């Protein structure tokens, strides 16, 4: 039982998540800890996300709307600035939280005042079926020292003291909609203050196939932004700052140009195969084959499609016999 019952602000940006948003919200309004505000912003969705959000009646929900799609950086920052709570919790609009998530994460921070933020273990799901479970380290040194080679946290599980915003700032618009804005931001928190992952599985990470199969191969920056992020964080670890924190535009342009040149010969097929690899990694073999032979993979030659399909069929056969062996 928590004697001190501070307000918790939950941040939920939503874009074209009509299939998931209701379950996501229900997982929040069903929390065992009820002194919460749920800040949801529909980011110019073109499906029925807005209607599904507004269909749920709960006085703790605060609804915001972007008339056009502004992107996740803009939307998260909008909600963070509107937050009134002493603590902030993140949740992606296609994911769900365990009923005791808030209670357990808040309890942890209250009992461990040296920590200003924490995460949890999570379960990867597809259509509400478990694919696998995380095994993130809980030891602060292991989490901190791995950055930026490995990120031992899932952004959606973040729970932190609101005062941290005064010290690490908000999501940086430098990243735009190309990704890694959350990895960079949370890594700054971890490099400044002790952080732990709770051992409990308190978050359900739903694999959104629509986003996994959204092949935006025209923007090569989505492919190399991870390397730029790593360079910036290495500098932050060694110097306590970097070109982004100093707003050194000349150095940022030089860094990005240098990284981009390493990817200059990248073809649409290279990027497409990397994204297909995500589906294979999650053992979504049937979905991968459907994607290969659909309009998403127009750039792949016929024989390339055949080669990848045969590879996946071998995986399917192996997966089937492995399951049969385990049953016996």
User: What are the residue ranges spanned by the domains of the chain?
Assistant: 8-208, 215-266, 267-328
Confidence of residue 216 (pLDDT cuts 50, 70, 90): very low
Which pLDDT value is given to residue 271? Answer: 67
Instruction: Round to whole Å and give the CA distance between 37 and 40.
Output: 10
First to last CA, the chain: 45
For the segment 172-203, what is each residue's pLDDT rounded down to a tens digit? 999 998 999 999 999 999 999 999 999 999 99
User: Is the separation of the CB atoms in 120 and 196 below 8 Å?
Assistant: no
The pLDDT of residue 268 is above 80 = no
How much is the mean pLDDT over the chain? 89
What pTM does this model have?
0.82
The CATH classification of domain 8-208, taken from the options 3.20.20.140, 3.40.50.12780, 3.90.550.10, 3.40.228.10: 3.90.550.10
* 115 CA to centre of own chain: 22
Instruction: Round to whole Å and give the CA distance between 9 and 82.
Output: 9
């Amino acid at each position: 039982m928590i004697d001190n019952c501070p307000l918790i602000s939950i941040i939920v940006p939503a874009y074209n998540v009509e299939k998931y948003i209701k379950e996501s919200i229900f997982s929040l309004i069903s929390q065992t800890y009820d002194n919460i505000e749920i800040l949801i912003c529909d980011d110019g969705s073109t499906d029925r996300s807005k209607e599904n959000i507004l269909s749920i009646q709960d006085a703790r929900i605060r609804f915001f709307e972007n008339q056009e799609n502004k992107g996740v950086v803009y939307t998260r920052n909008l909600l963070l600035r509107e937050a009134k709570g002493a603590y902030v919790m993140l949740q992606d609009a296609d994911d769900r939280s365990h009923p005791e998530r808030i209670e357990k994460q808040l309890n942890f921070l209250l009992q461990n005042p040296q920590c200003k933020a924490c995460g949890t273990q999570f379960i990867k799901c597809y259509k509400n079926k478990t694919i696998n479970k995380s095994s993130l380290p809980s030891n602060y040194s292991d989490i901190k020292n791995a950055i930026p080679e490995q990120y031992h946290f899932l952004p959606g599980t973040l729970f932190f003291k609101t005062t941290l915003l005064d010290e690490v700032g908000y999501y940086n618009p430098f990243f735009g909609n190309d990704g890694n804005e959350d990895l960079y931001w949370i890594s700054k928190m971890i490099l400044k203050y002790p952080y732990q992952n709770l051992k409990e599985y308190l978050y359900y990470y739903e694999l959104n196939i629509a986003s996994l199969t959204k092949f935006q191969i025209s923007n090569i920056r989505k492919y190399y932004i991870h390397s730029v992020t790593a360079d910036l964080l290495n500098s932050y670890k060694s110097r306590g700052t970097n070109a982004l924190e100093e707003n050194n535009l000349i150095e940022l342009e030089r860094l990005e140009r240098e990284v981009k040149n390493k990817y200059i010969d990248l073809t649409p097929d290279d990027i497409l195969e990397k994204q297909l690899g995500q589906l294979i990694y999650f053992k979504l073999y049937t979905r991968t084959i459907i994607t290969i032979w659909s309009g998403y993979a127009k750039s792949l030659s016929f024989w390339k499609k055949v080669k990848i399909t045969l590879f996946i069929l071998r995986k399917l056969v192996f997966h089937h016999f492995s399951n049969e062996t385990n049953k016996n």
